[in-house]
Amino acid sequence: MKKLQEYFENIKGIGVLATADSGGKVDAAIYSRPHFLEEKTLAFIMRDRLTHHNLQSNPSATFLFIEEGAGYQGKRLFLKKTREESNPDLVNQIKRRKYTDDNEEPTFLVYFTVEKELPLVGV
């Protein structure tokens, strides 16, 4: 997992987190790089929107990361939600960017295990 953590610390790009509700209706949203907080566990900071709602009934998600630059380099991470918490102090401590409206909506720290890692293209 350390190798994956180092990858996300050093590579710039665009991330998309895809989820589905219990009925299979799919959603995809732009997300920043994941936070690595514990061994074999990563987390995303989420507001209470569609992605977060979907994860309440279906814990599976996929994170697609497209590296900056020419070509199609990146990773696909197949994830399983393990838990979540609403801890504003922890969220403020780990988030990479600050916004003026940060305290207007509840935020959640949603934890996942990585079930499978594949390259962006192929396999």
Structural contact between residues 99 and 44, judged by C-beta atoms closer than 8 angstroms: no
Give the burial class of 63: count Cβ atoms within 10 A of its Cβ; 0-12 exposed, 13-18 middle, 19 or more buried.
Answer: buried
- Residue 104 CA to chain centroid, in angstroms? 21
One digit per residue, pLDDT tens: the chain, 123 residues? 568 999 999 999 999 999 999 999 999 999 999 998 777 789 999 999 999 999 999 999 999 999 999 889 999 999 999 999 998 888 888 776 665 555 667 899 999 999 999 999 987
Give the burial class of 46: count Cβ atoms within 10 A of its Cβ; 0-12 exposed, 13-18 middle, 19 or more buried.
Answer: buried
In the CATH hierarchy, which top-level class contains the domain 2-119? mainly beta
Q: Give the residue extent of every domain in the chain.
A: 2-119
pTM > 0.75: yes or no: yes
